Chain A
């Protein structure tokens, strides 16, 4: 195995990896779903979560500047 991220690990996986999976993937069911968490737009939440994940787990990638916007 390559080096493991130990940050906030859940069975050896990093928080960023976890968020990448559970926020962005998984079955999405429509219908009666309450797709709002107390007023926070879920799409915005997705973006924020990913940003947080990146910041915290991959300190290796200090891609400062760049300013590339890939929304």
Chain B
């Protein structure tokens, strides 16, 4: 395995200050082969920068190439392309060995900076890699279905008769209470799903939903041995929640994007 900062002929460009390093994932040294992998950047060749028993997959990219005008933040724009390339490289690495994917567009100036990152997060990275070993991430998202909203009972009671003030208020109170009850039921269902599926996972996490209709946006770190049981359980939730107007989306398997957080050592900023 190449040692830290070994320079091969084709990497001469690295000395160019306009070239920066795009970081993909942290792995154990000598655990993956990245030859032939293409990532972000003109050449895009992915290589490993090693430090002690860790390595980080990087590719050289021109600073200019990372310029993303706001118009590029579209479905087919550069950002989408960047995200897909990033994910493809992370997946190719993760397929071989446990990996800590880095956040999209993590860029450092040079290899020395990448080494410093490995050094700074070394202990925690090792710990996380051990925990992630043999696991994949699955996403579970619960969404309110628009179509199944129960129509509010506007015209109950005495048909067309003009409602008295009291009747109106009473009806209003009922409607509010019904709404509150529905929300409570939804919360209970959501919590139930979250914890039920958690029984099959080594770790679980939830993020805020991207829209108001997302009532749960959860991620589970599932051991390979538990995957089938997890998916069966997820499928039974799909069926169980349909009558409640809640759709369950299962996504995955993912590299452990949601379980790669490295806490900063909080060294004094200097």
Chain A residues in the interface with B (C-beta under 8 A): 1-2, 7-8, 10-11, 13, 15-34, 37-38, 40, 42, 45, 48-50, 52-54, 56, 58, 60-63, 66, 68, 70
B180 at the interface (CB under 8 A from A): no
Looking at chain B's contact residues, is the secondary structure mostly helix, strand, loop, or mixed?
Answer: mixed
Interface residues in B144-178 (C-beta closer than 8 Å to A): 146
Given A22-B86, A34-B109, decide whether A61 and B146 contact each other with a Cβ distance below 8 A: yes
Contact in complex: B210, A37 (CB < 8 Å): no
Chain B residues in the interface with A (C-beta under 8 A): 20, 23, 26, 63, 66-68, 70, 73-76, 79-80, 83-84, 86-88, 91, 100-109, 113, 116-117, 120-121, 125, 139, 143, 146, 207-208, 210-213, 217, 219, 238, 247-251, 254, 257-258, 260-262, 264
Shortest beta-carbon distance from A40 to chain B in Å: 6
Could you tell me the distance between the alpha carbons of A67 and B142 in the complex, rounded to whole angstroms? Answer: 21
Chain A minimum-CB-distance residue to B103:
A26
Shortest beta-carbon distance from A6 to chain B in Å: 13
Contact in complex: A70, B212 (CB < 8 Å): yes
Partner of B113, one of A20, A32, A38, A70: A32
Shortest beta-carbon distance from B82 to chain A in Å: 9
Contact in complex: A49, B212 (CB < 8 Å): no
Chain B minimum-CB-distance residue to A25:
B257
Shortest beta-carbon distance from A16 to chain B in Å: 7
Shortest beta-carbon distance from A66 to chain B in Å: 6
- Which chain A residues border B86 with CB–CB below 8 Å? 22
- Which chain B residues border A17 with CB–CB below 8 Å? 139, 251
Contact in complex: A49, B251 (CB < 8 Å): no
- Which chain A residues border B254 with CB–CB below 8 Å? 13, 21
Contact in complex: A2, B250 (CB < 8 Å): yes
Partner of A33, one of B26, B76, B117, B260: B117
Among B80, B88, B139: residue with most chain A CB under 10 A: B80
Contact in complex: B260, A25 (CB < 8 Å): yes
Contact in complex: A27, B83 (CB < 8 Å): no
Given A26-B260, A29-B106, A42-B105, decide whether A8 and B67 contact each other with a Cβ distance below 8 A: no
Contact in complex: B211, A58 (CB < 8 Å): yes
Contact in complex: A48, B257 (CB < 8 Å): no
Contact in complex: A2, B105 (CB < 8 Å): no
- Which chain A residues border B219 with CB–CB below 8 Å? 25
Could you tell me the distance between the alpha carbons of A9 and B40 in the complex, rounded to whole angstroms? Answer: 19
- Which chain B residues border A37 with CB–CB below 8 Å? 66-68, 105, 107
Could you tell me the distance between the alpha carbons of A10 and B139 in the complex, rounded to whole angstroms? Answer: 15
Could you tell me the distance between the alpha carbons of A30 and B73 in the complex, rounded to whole angstroms? Answer: 24
- Which chain A residues border B63 with CB–CB below 8 Å? 38
Shortest beta-carbon distance from A36 to chain B in Å: 9
Could you tell me the distance between the alpha carbons of A70 and B41 in the complex, rounded to whole angstroms? Answer: 35
- Which chain A residues border B257 with CB–CB below 8 Å? 21-22, 25-26
- Which chain B residues border A54 with CB–CB below 8 Å? 210-211
Contact in complex: A63, B73 (CB < 8 Å): no
- Which chain A residues border B248 with CB–CB below 8 Å? 2
- Which chain B residues border A16 with CB–CB below 8 Å? 210
Contact in complex: B102, A10 (CB < 8 Å): no
Shortest beta-carbon distance from B45 to chain A in Å: 20
